[in-house]
Structure 1
Amino acid sequence: MPTFEHQFTAANGTVTTNSISLTVQDIENAGVLEVLQSPGATLGHWQFLGALLDPTVSSFSFQQPLGHAREVKTAISGLFGRFVARAYATQHLGLTHFAHVRKPPMALGGVMRGQLRRVPYQRGDMPDWVAWGPSAGMAIVEAKGCHDGKGPQAALDRAYVQANRAEIRVRGRPAPFKRYAIATRWGFTSPKTSAPMLWVKDPDEDAEISAAEQESLQLAMVRWHMGSLLVSLGHDALAKPLLELTGHRFKNRVADAQRRAEAALDDTVPMVVEGDIAPDTPLVGGYVGRAGRLSATQLDASELATLNKLGLRPTFVGIERDAIKQAIEGTVRRAPPALDDDGTLSLREGEDGAGSWVLPLDDDARRVLPLDGGR
């Protein structure tokens, strides 16, 4: 399993150094979700990593630099840095639900008037994500990837400044959350060896809000995470009212959006996954590949074989139907994922802890079928 040299600066200033591991599949799965939830075309540029890594070393090191021109290295490093940071934030920080920061103010629970805002007098680019996890709480996260031979400190400093440009407020009052700055420096085995590094800075923002206000923020994050993913998977009729629920302040509008979302969910055929490692509950989702989202609503064995032969790596991405239903109703009761002995989340293969699944279909060990047929 590839490793990074890891430095973690806690909120109290304590610095911990060790090594951490992330599987290539963890990072690729995070990349799938990241690209699908990003605004714009959902082109499949996530599954590059395995072919670029040096199989002769135990660290997360590329065989060669990521291009020759500096702007190319910077662009690819930034992209991969987001994928690694998201996988790390899930596995090691306990953040399971992600929403890309939109132009502030960004609604985070309309009834309670929760918002992500720009910090007054702070100019420049906003951070990458607002995130939440059952065991971690709310967070604002900025990720940077770099290829600087001196290490990731300069990138970490930039990420820290960017993370400090956003804040979370409920009814105008500050809400408690963490700010994370995550910087990755890539290692290369040619032309020279350099160690891959992942450095993190973790300042706290202390505040007090009511339990109802906390639940409102959490529910908004669940809806943002699911809605932004469902849009890219072709479920616009379901995603639109789900996203509206993050911002509506009036009960009649909330009820109307809930009715439309429930009707759309009832009209959506859920899928069941069969195989050795598969979710035990129906999913709502769609197929993606290296070219982006596939328009097919079902793929048979011969079609999957053709896609795999062409190297397009078909993958089913879905969200647990029961989790979507709870998000619509506002009754999210998902139990926090268990922690392993080393403090990382204990997740099954393809699971992200938010009810979302990324399931490659590159062999015959896994089948995806409509719930009401195909058996």
Structure 2
Amino acid sequence: MHQPFSLWWAALAAADETMQGGPLVPAWLRLFSAHLSSADNVRLRWGGDLGESAELRRAYSALYGRYFSRALLASRLGFTDFVPLRTNVTRLPNGVTIRRTAKGDIPDWIAWDPASGSYCLCEAKGSLTGKEPAFMTGQPTCVTEGKKQFGRVEVLDRSGRAVATRNWVAANLWSTDSRRRESVSLLWDPPSDGGTFSKGESEKHADGIRRRRIANIALRLGRVGLLGSARRTGGVLVRVKASPDRDGMPTKVSASHEDDLLHPIERPATKPHEGVYAAALITPFGIRPILDGGDLAALNAASKSVAPAMLFGLSVDALRAGQTISEPWISGQGIAAPDGLSLFDLSRVEIGG
């Protein structure tokens, strides 16, 4: 199946992974444009093999595999609230525990599936040297190995009962200018045993994993008390206004047939977007949470600079139960995802305090 795919999903995944994982310098701000093929403006294709050495190639392939896999799971399956799994034990505020039970690699995230009201364990894979026929038949080695990782963890509720999860491997076979083949993204869902939730239980669990994810982000935004009340943390909230804009839509598609392009699964927004965010400025030099008037002044200065800069935000509405965006807003200016995470090209949006 050939479908258009906005790179804003991958950029948002990279931003959130950076924010939750620690105050790392966001090198990904330039990597997408530096690595994408300039010879193919339609398919998702890299310009080269991502690095000169085998070690760098593996590192970049895995890094992009993580970003694009998460982007696909969010955009195509609607998963939200991705929480990275810790090495041995990960605990959610509602008493759910994800625990390693065997040696070896474990899945990358636990996330939430609003459609089924259940947890999902998710594993990301990126492959530069894999074989296209193996991906087309659903049996590449990376998927086989990824499926094994779900058996190395257990998901238990507060009482110690096993919880049923949807388990997904998202694997990407890369295409490059020298490896001219179809790029393939494969989503595979091995089943899982365990108890399911009633509607009331599902709502409580959805709130629990959302709180954990927001707590991770709030820490990096310098707002540990953000969950208590967005307006009582003392930090500046940033108002963003963005317009629908087809020009500059950062989209690559893995499609070669015109008919596939006429019926995309996602389209640029047709209405303006306005939201209020707890936010951070992201530049090639690092991440700066917007906490006071000085930070807001720096944000406004960066918006007028020619240097690349992004605004990462967590919607205030996402902090209020049941008030999240129902559909993603995507344009050439940025993306506002259903779970309240947003990323904007700072030079192309209107901002205010």
Instruction: Report the TM-score when normalising by structure 2.
Output: 0.79
SS in 1 for 2:147: helix
CA shift, 1:354, in A, is 0.6
Indicate the residue corresponding to 1:256 in structure 2: none
The alignment partner of 1:198 has SS state of strand
Q: What's 2:340 paired with? A: 355
| Distance in 1 (alpha carbons) for counterparts of 2:324 and 2:25 | 33
CA distance in 1, matches of 2:324, 2:346: 28
Q: Is the 8 A contact 1:131 1:221 kept in 2?
A: yes
Partner of 2:191: 204
Which residue of 301, 313, 322 corresponds with 1:333?
Answer: 322
Percent identical pairs in the alignment equals 21
The count of aligned residue pairs is: 307
Partner of 1:6: none
Contact 1:140 1:180 survives alignment (8 Å):
yes
RMSD, aligned α-carbons? 2.4
Q: Distance in 1 between matches of 2:237 and 2:99?
A: 36
Query: For residues 203 and 149 of structure 1, what CA distance do their matches in structure 2 show?
Result: 21
8 Å contact 2:309–2:346 — kept in the other structure? yes
Distance of aligned partners of 1:29 and 1:263 in 2 relative to their CA distance in 1, 3 Å threshold: closer
Mapped partners of 2:80, 2:285: distance in 1: 26
Shift of 1:274: 2.5
Counterpart check, 1:60 vs 2:68: no
Decide which of 73, 83, 95 is 1:99's aligned counterpart: 83
Q: Deviations over 1:149-188 (max 9, x none)?
A: 4245111122211233223221211223200111112111
Name stretches of at least 5 consecutive residues in structure 2 with no aligned partner.
245-271
**Amino acid of the residue matched to residue 135 of structure 1?**
A
Q: 1:36 aligns with which of 19, 26, 31?
A: 19
**2:145 corresponds to which residue?**
158
Match of 2:276 among 263, 278, 282: 282
SS in 2 for 1:294: strand
Q: Does 1:123 align with 2:117?
A: no
The separation in 1 between residues aligned to 2:105 and 2:283, in whole angstroms, is 31
State how 1:252-263 maps to structure 2 within 5 Å: 261-262=228-229
Deviations, residues 12-38 of structure 1 (Å, cap 9, x unaligned):
xxxxxx223322222122211121111
Contact 1:163–1:180, Cα closer than 8 Å, also in 2: no
Report the CA distance between 1:335 and its aligned residue: 5.8
Structure 1 residues 301, 114: CA separation in 2 closer, same or farther (over 3 Å shift)? closer
Instruction: Map Cα deviations across residues 305-340 of structure 1 (whole Å, 9 max, x no partner).
Output: 33xx2x3x221111122322x2xxxxx2246735xx
The residue number in structure 1 matching 2:262 is: none
Counterparts in 2 of 1:221-260, with a 5 A limit?
221-235=209-223, 237-238=224-225, 242=227
Question: For residue 124 of structure 2, what is the aligned residue in structure 1?
Answer: 143
- CA displacement at 1:61 relative to structure 2: 0.9
User: Which of residues 278, 287, 305 in structure 2 aligns to 1:293?
Assistant: 287
Between the aligned partners of 2:283 and 2:352, the Cα distance in structure 1 is 18
Cα contact 2:66–2:126 (8 A) shared by 1: yes
In the TM superposition, residue 279 of structure 1 has moved relative to its aligned partner by 4.2
Q: Tell me if the contact between 1:97 and 1:354 (Cα under 8 Å) persists in the aligned partners.
A: yes
Structure 1 residues 232-281: Cα deviation after superposition (integer angstroms, max 9, x where no partner) = 2222x325xx5xxxxxxxxxxxxxxxxxx338744233221123256433
Counterpart in the other structure of 1:251: none
Counterpart CA distance in 1 for 2:340 and 2:189 is: 26
Contact 1:314 1:360 in 2 (8 A): yes
Q: Distance in 2 between matches of 1:268 and 1:199?
A: 41
SS, match of residue 61 in structure 1 = coil
Partner of 1:254: none
Query: Partners in 2 of 1:199 and 1:45 — Cα distance?
Result: 26
Query: Could you tell me how far 1:85 is from its partner in structure 2?
Result: 0.5
User: Contact between 1:168 and 1:174, CA under 8 Å: does it hold in 2?
Assistant: yes
The normalised TM-score by structure 1 is 0.75
**From 199, 211, 218, the counterpart of 2:206:** 218
SS of residue paired to 1:33 = helix
The AA in structure 2 aligned to 1:56 is A
Q: Is the 8 A contact 2:48 2:176 kept in 1?
A: yes
Select which of 210, 234, 244 maps to 1:267.
Answer: 234
Q: Which has the higher contact order (CA 8 A, sep 6+)?
A: 2
Alpha-carbon distance between aligned partners in 1 of 2:155 and 2:273, rounded to the nearest angstrom: 34
Q: Which SS does the other structure have where 1:127 is aligned? A: coil
What corresponds to 2:317 in structure 1? 322
**Which amino acid in structure 2 is aligned with residue 132 of structure 1?**
W
**Could you give the per-residue CA deviations for residues 184-221 of structure 1, whole angstroms, max 9, x where no partner exists?**
1211112x413212122102325323444322321121
Match of 1:184 among 172, 196, 206: 172
Aligned-partner Cα distance in 2 for 1:94–1:174: 24
Q: Which structure 1 residue ranges, 4+ long, deviate > 4 Å from structure 2?
A: none
